[in-house]
Structure 1
Amino acid sequence: MIDTTAFPITARWPTNDPSVIQLYSYPTPNGVKISIALEEMGLPYEPHLVTLSDADVKSPAFLSLNPNNKIPAIIDPNGPDGPIGLFESGAILLYLAEKSGKFLGKTASDKAKITQWLMFQMGGLGPMLGQMGFFYKFAGADIEDPRPRERYLNEAIRLLAVLDGQLEGKDWIAGGFSIADMAIAPWINALEFYGTKDVVGYHDLKNVPAYVERFFARPAVQKAKFIPNPNG
């Protein structure tokens, strides 16, 4: 069970069932990684909508769980040494995979390869596509200097080519379906939201489009992609 005094976030986002994992999130690429993982793994959880507004992510309640003021974050009341709070989507994915015994491969070598592709997303694909989106869809689009936009566009194209090559002859990025796919596919799907599929040559890629379609056809992914529901 969750001691509410140890986790002040529960005062602002009260728990209905403190015996299950508490998810604090919003359905962005980073957020849905965790709802997808929880659904795929069959772990009971309770979602709480945390908007991206400063009023939520920079509130003392949320900062008490994640001092880096980013979604997602979780509390697991049944952690290995008692209740545990975690932030950073990659760290949460690794934790949940180890907890459930699923989607982290069968051997130590499998785990290492899956982890390397998870880190590829965390350190490369996510940050670069996010920055590209900023310069194409959001405030960065008003900047006249083309160099920042070109930098992130070119890096996005390069990273997508890396993925396309890795997926040759494979359904999933590291062999079997894994937490690496849960991290990568939502970020590729963000190209639609950013309106950048054409500029990155998405439709010219040989393997990536079918990979994303295959991923989002999974029933657990379909259910999880709008959890927490931003529309209430």
Structure 2
Amino acid sequence: MIDLYFAATPNGLKAKLFFEEAQLPYRLMPVSLSKGEQFQPDFLAISPNNKIPAIVDHQPLGGGAPVALFESGAILLYLAEKISRFIPTEIHGRTEVLQWLFWQMSGLGPMAGQIGHFNVYAPEQVPYAIERYTRETHRLYGVLDRRLADRSFIAGEFSIADIACYPWIVPHEAHGQNLDDFPNLKRWFDAIAARPATVRTYEGVDNVYAPKKHSPLSEEERRVLFGQGANPVTR
């Protein structure tokens, strides 16, 4: 059994989507970020960066002690290699998947996360930040749109590259992006959205980057989520 420490952020949903696609048994371990559960010692022992997702594989390949991992890209790669699916073993196909996985981790996720924050969670408008991150996210959407011009999936067959990128396109409205401007990306997005595993993954899940339709964050929630330094304190 594998424990998945989870909250419904794009990175958390990447890991959940893998489990659903693979039909790999897992135990969901919810982590309330607004309550600061990510700073509890037991969780920090698994994820020292105090971020979700994290996993504990109680039956790793080859046996031995449980394997704990944090960082969503590392988790996707570990799981794909564990079950020999969603990443090719042949060198050319493997490198295609890996470079797009790392592209998501280093580019799409961080930039889209920043514009999502400034559009949805920032207590006041910061025009320079909004313009900067909207423009860069638009550029990255364009990179993916061009990549998908002549293929159904990002790196050949359906892979962890698709699993990694899809949850970061779901909140495109909060990113200030219109998918109609990116027809190849929109075609891919609609196809992934229709997969049964995606439907199961997102069932009952709120979009954490949805435009504000809810009560503003309390000062305590804002401090826990965004106000931590090197020595986090939840109380």
Partner of 1:210: 187
* Cα offset, 1:106, TM superposition: 4.2
**Structure 2 equivalent of residue 173 of structure 1:** 154
Determine the C-alpha separation between the residues in 2 that align with 1:166 and 1:104.
Answer: 18
How far apart are the structure 1 equivalents of 2:111 and 2:179?
A: 15
Within 1, Cα distance between the matches of 2:206 and 2:134? 31
One-letter amino acid matched to 2:197: A
Q: Any idea what SS the aligned residue of 1:168 has?
A: helix
Partner of 1:17: none
Change in 2 beyond 3 A, CA 1:105/1:76: same
User: How far apart, CA to CA, are the structure 1 residues paired with 2:205 and 2:167?
Assistant: 15
Moved more, 29-38 or 80-89: 80-89
Alignment pair present for 1:82 and 2:65 = yes
The amino acid of 1:121's aligned partner reads Q
Give the one of 160, 170, 174 matched to 2:141. Answer: 160
Which sections of structure 1, spanning at least 5 residues, go unmatched? 1-19
The alpha carbon displacement at 1:62 in A equals 1.1
1:104 aligns to what? 87
- Runs of 4 or more, structure 1, over 6 Å off, are 227-230
Alignment partner, residue 17 of structure 2 = 36
SS at match of 1:102: coil
What percent identity do the matched residue pairs reach? Answer: 43
C-alpha contact 1:23 1:73 (8 A) present in aligned 2: yes
Q: Which amino acid in 2 is paired with 1:23?
A: L
Give, in angstroms, the shift of residue 156 of structure 1: 0.4
Q: CA deviation at 1:229?
A: 9.2
* 2:148 counterpart of 1:148: no
Which sits farther off after the overlay, 179-188 or 58-67? 58-67
Task: Please point out which of 111, 115, 122 is paired with 1:128.
Answer: 111
SS in 1 for 2:5: strand
Q: Deviations over 1:159-207 (max 9, x none)?
A: 0000000001211001100000000011011223x2x4xx434211121
Could you state the TM-score of these two structures normalised by the residue count of structure 2?
0.82
2:171: which partner in 1?
Answer: 190
Structure 1 residue matching 2:172: 3-state secondary structure? helix
CA contact (8 A) 1:62 1:69 kept: yes
Three-state SS of the structure 1 residue aligned to 2:85 is coil
Query: Structure 2: where are the runs of 5+ without partners?
Result: 208-235
Write the distance in 1 (CA, Å) between the matches of 2:202 and 2:65.
29
TM-score by length of 1: 0.83
* Alignment length (residue pairs): 205
